[in-house]
Amino acid sequence: MGIEINGNSGRPAHEAIEAGKSQTTAAPAGNSAQAAAGSKTAAAGGDKLQLSNQAAQLQALEAEIANLPVVDTQRVQDVQRTLATGSFQVEPVRVADKLLTFEAGLGRAP
């Protein structure tokens, strides 16, 4: 889930700097230190990116998932063997339990 950022949204550089200055000067008085730091950063042309804890966790999970195999080959072979031998058994109670668990999970908001 990478995001690629190119350019400065199509605005010429001087317009981007002026927009940054106007946004930092319009900050409330209590944030004057932040406004000063922001105008220095905008004037110098440097950008700052700070990820939230959730974003950092998502990046770690994404990296972990990328290392997992796409297909569990052992599971696929087991299913193929079961189907080939005709020994596949449907357990209605287990299927119903799994279905109810799945449906219950859909109702919960994370």
**For the segment 35-84, what is each residue's pLDDT rounded down to a tens digit?**
444 445 455 678 888 778 888 899 999 999 999 888 899 999 999 999 99
pLDDT of 51 reads 76
Q: What is the spatial distance between Cα 110 and Cα 108, in angstroms, rounded to a whole number?
A: 6
Q: Which residue has the higher pLDDT, 80 or 6?
A: 80
Q: Is the pLDDT of residue 7 over 70?
A: no
Find out whether 39 and 20 touch, Cβ atoms under 8 Å: yes
pLDDT of 37 reads 47
Helix (H) or strand (E) holding 40: helix 32-44
Q: What is the spatial distance between Cα 110 and Cα 106, in angstroms, rounded to a whole number?
A: 10
Considering the chain, what percentage of its residues have pLDDT values greater than 90? 31
Q: What is the spatial distance between Cα 43 and Cα 70, in angstroms, rounded to a whole number?
A: 46
